[in-house]
Structure 1
């Protein structure tokens, strides 16, 4: 599957996930993302000339990656040294009709994190 930010500066290619996750924690609820989880070697990411901007907070275990041009939250990645490296792709970056074909798991991050 190919996903990209609004201006197509950041492009991602991954296999279709079995499901995506909607989390209601303080940051995910603001981003309204649908996360598909992958190992780093399962994801192909291309960053265009506009670049990317990262945001990390709290325990600084993950960095949310935004397009520096259009501002879309495209993915997050675990920081270096993480015991379980992963990349979470924001599936709101794909065509809405494709997104409807992927089941959504709801995670209560507000209560559990």
Structure 2
């Protein structure tokens, strides 16, 4: 199991497995957030946070919810608005450095 959290610890995640690969996306939002995404099935990620612990920014034609800790400002994850969509992205920069260092980095460009 892998643990990740925002800087202040208000948003914590337990993830079943470490990421083999993380994605550096160069779209406008991901580039500005400076995140590396690790993709999982929602069943593999357990979020622990108080209600309203995150601010939600809707993006990509209002299809994705980007979650940011209200206290420390770290972007923690994104989830699809449609809960039947079976993918969640966790900001791998919130994992321990050794976990992140073991993962390959996939460069996602606008042409992918």
TM-based fold match above 0.5: yes
- How many residues were matched structurally? 110
Q: Give the root-mean-square deviation of aligned CA atoms.
A: 1.7
More strand by share: 2
* Aligned residue number for residue 38 of structure 2: 36
SS of residue in 1 equivalent to 2:48: strand
- The CA distance in 2 between the partners of 1:63 and 1:6, in whole Å, is 20
* Aligned residue number for residue 63 of structure 2: 61
The Cα of 1:60 is off from its aligned counterpart by 1.1
- The CA distance in 1 between the partners of 2:83 and 2:10, in whole Å, is 27
- The CA distance in 2 between the partners of 1:81 and 1:8, in whole Å, is 25
CA shift in 2, pair 1:38/1:57, >3 Å:
same
Contact kept, 8 Å, 1:34 with 1:91, in 2: the verdict is yes
Structure 2 unaligned regions, length at least 5: none
TM-score (normalised: structure 1): 0.88
TM-score (normalised: structure 2): 0.89
Structure 1 unaligned regions, length at least 5: none
- The CA distance in 2 between the partners of 1:69 and 1:76, in whole Å, is 17
Runs (4 or more) in structure 1 with deviation over 4 Å come to none
